[in-house]
Structure 1
Amino acid sequence: MPTVDNGGCELYYETEGSGPTVAFVGDVGAGAWLWGWQHGAVAGPYEALTWDLRGTGRSDAPDGPYDVRTLAGDLEAVLADAGVADVHLVGAGLGGMVALAHAHRYNRAESLALIGTAADGSEVTDRLDDLRADPEDRGALAGSLSAAFAADLDEHPDVRDRIVSWRSEDDAGLEGWDAQAAAMRGFEAPPLYEVTDPALVLHGVDDVVVPAEAGEQLAEDLPRGEYRAVEGGHWCLVETSDAVSDALVGWLDEQSDGNGG
């Protein structure tokens, strides 16, 4: 499986499909499982690229705290190693911040899709801490999901248990989680008027980690931002996966057509 070294940190990534590249950037602590639904929707007509942020899964976990600029540099190393010239960036939570920083600093982004994202770490509530759980503690993983979803997953034990299994296999350990959370809380967006790529901002109406108002403001401040509310909480991309996937694929098709893709 492909890896790339960025300043001594080995980063793991995977690609599937062919066509314009869509790179997914995950939330605090979350493994690539988080993108399972959207990955399946885009892989084929697009090349879907997923990677483990430093601190997560199969990538190295150097001591933290981390910052978004470093994570954006990691993303650039992955894209360069994968031979990607132009990319559609899709980020959730922390990953949306990384996508914003990357689009501002580098010249690869064709479009942005930002899910549950704020332009400033001060918008992130204390409920982020409720997502923190040791991957070896299945009870803690199950309890932490109350911050991620609007629905009570205890009423859907089969779904809850599948997510817990994925998290136990792929998510960051506590030190990696803390290092990434520091990056999310410490984020200050670059001047948003300089991020001129088309940007779709999707936000769960019941997000308790990053309030929906922060997403609305982000879309308003981006020169080519478009806001769409969806049902669900912070991980609406899982909770209402069909709605998010449909919106994402429609958006990508519009951007690819507009760019001759």
Structure 2
Amino acid sequence: MPVATNDGVSCYYERAGAGDPVVFVGDVGYGAWQWGWQHAAVAGPYESVVTDVRGAGRSDAPPGPYSVPDLVSDLVSVLSDAGLRSATVVGAGLGGLVGLEAARTSGRVDRLVCLGSGASGADLDLEPLYGSPEDPETLERSLERALSAEFVDAHPDAVRQMVAWRSDEDAARAAWEAQAAAVADYSLAEPYRVTTPTLVVHGLEDAVWPADRGRELADALPRGEFVGVEGAGHLVHVERSKPVNDELLGFLADA
């Protein structure tokens, strides 16, 4: 089980497949379960590297608050530990901010995919996404805010499975707040400097990160492209995995 270390913080990651590397960086509070659908699509033609953001899963949860630069340093540590000079980075929510800042500052990002993210986390209310790993009822209620009502109604078994995964992997309250602080404090400086090809995918029914933030991000980037997914909420890559994976694999194939 590979673990990278950044200034005493252990950052867990898993890798599978062969080919050009694709590194996944998750959203506030969620464990690596959120990438199961994309990992299955990518591993094989590409190398899939799934990380646990500090505070969640099997990574350390040092006292917060955290910052996006902290998480960029974690990402660079994972790349270095894995022997990767650079990679495509796929980030959801908070992970999208990490990918943007890494592309702006590190030179380690070849291509970038931002899912349900934007250029800034200011003025977002992330509280509806929190669920205590020890309380299945709050986990289920928070999923109802992260997913579309149609998905929740149509896939009760999938929602129950996500609750079980979240109980095992998601961040406890203190770590969740530390990650949320990183979102609240971040705003992308000089977006014109992010010349990395960037695909921005957003659920058009996202009740937490408005889709307009995704559009604005794509418009601000020199090589940004926006794709809106009808009927999807914040966890667009979970509930609409097939169209998202189609966009992701098409974007990777264009490299």
Give the TM-score taking structure 2 as reference length.
0.97
Shift, 1:166, TM fit: 0.9
Q: Say whether the 8 Å CA contact 2:6–2:77 is kept in structure 1.
A: yes
1:223 aligns with 2:226: no
**What do you get for the CA RMSD once the two structures are aligned?**
1.0
Deviation string 1:69-118 (CA, Å, 9 cap, x unpaired) is 10011000000100011200100000000000111111121111111111
Aligned to 1:208: 207
1:247 aligns with 2:247: yes
Aligned to 1:186: 185
Aligned to 1:237: 237
Distance 1:63 1:3 in 2: 19
Q: How does 1:17-36 map to 2 (within 5 A)?
A: 17-36=17-36
Number of equivalent positions: 253
Structure 1 SS opposite 2:189: coil
Distance 2:37 2:199 in 1: 18
Runs of 4+ in structure 1 displaced over 3 angstroms?
none
Aligned to 2:44: 44
Structure 1 alignment gaps of length 5 or more: 256-261
Q: Say whether the 8 Å CA contact 1:123–1:214 is kept in structure 2.
A: no
Structure 2 alignment gaps of length 5 or more: none
Aligned to 2:13: 13
* Range moving further from structure 2, 211-220 or 141-150: 141-150
Aligned to 1:199: 198
Distance 1:12 1:116 in 2: 23
Distance 1:209 1:166 in 2: 22
Distance 1:110 1:149 in 2: 30
Q: Say whether the 8 Å CA contact 1:28–1:93 is kept in structure 2.
A: yes
Aligned to 1:131: 129
Distance 1:59 1:77 in 2: 13
Distance 1:196 1:69 in 2: 19
Deviation string 1:45-81 (CA, Å, 9 cap, x unpaired) is 1000011111011000000010101001100000010
Alignment-mate amino acid for residue 90 of structure 1? V
Aligned to 2:167: 168
Aligned to 2:71: 71
Alignment-mate amino acid for residue 92 of structure 1? A
Aligned to 2:139: 141
Q: Say whether the 8 Å CA contact 1:123–1:211 is kept in structure 2.
A: no
Distance 1:79 1:65 in 2: 23
Distance 1:222 1:19 in 2: 27
Structure 1 SS opposite 2:254: helix
Q: Say whether the 8 Å CA contact 1:4–1:10 is kept in structure 2.
A: yes
Structure 1 SS opposite 2:56: coil
Aligned to 2:62: 62
Alignment-mate amino acid for residue 225 of structure 1? G
Shift, 1:38, TM fit: 0.7
Distance 1:72 1:97 in 2: 9
Shift, 1:156, TM fit: 2.9
